[in-house]
Amino acid sequence: MKAGAVITEPGSSEKKHTGSWRTFRPVIDPKKCTACTICWMYCPEPAIIKGKPHSVDYRYCKGCGICARECPVKAITMVREAPCEKTP
């Protein structure tokens, strides 16, 4: 513990996997993805990994859905993480 509560490890927040926040997860269709990087650009975490196709870093993705909405070729679908039980 450093005097004055100084944090000397830059980016230590990456130890916190905020993916546990999600209710919906983005699924990128590799056949539709053109690797345009728009989802990567607009992801707040960031949780998109550039590539052919782009992929999601599910450790951090909070499921906001910006990527799905902004994707120009509609290659991303938001899928519910777990089925919801309806109360009787």
Provide the binding-site residues for other proteins, judged by CB under 8 A. 1-18, 21-22, 36-38, 41-47, 50, 57, 59-60, 62-66, 68-70, 78
Q: What is the nearest approach in angstroms of other proteins to the Cβ of residue 88?
A: 29
Give the β-pairing of 24-28 and 48-49.
unpaired
Euclidean distance between CA atoms 38 and 33, whole angstroms: 11
Measured from the CB atom, the residue of 5 and 84 that comes closer to other proteins is 5
| Token digits of residue 13 | 């927040």
Q: What is the nearest approach in angstroms of other proteins to the Cβ of residue 31?
A: 22
Contact 53, 39 (CB under 8 A): no
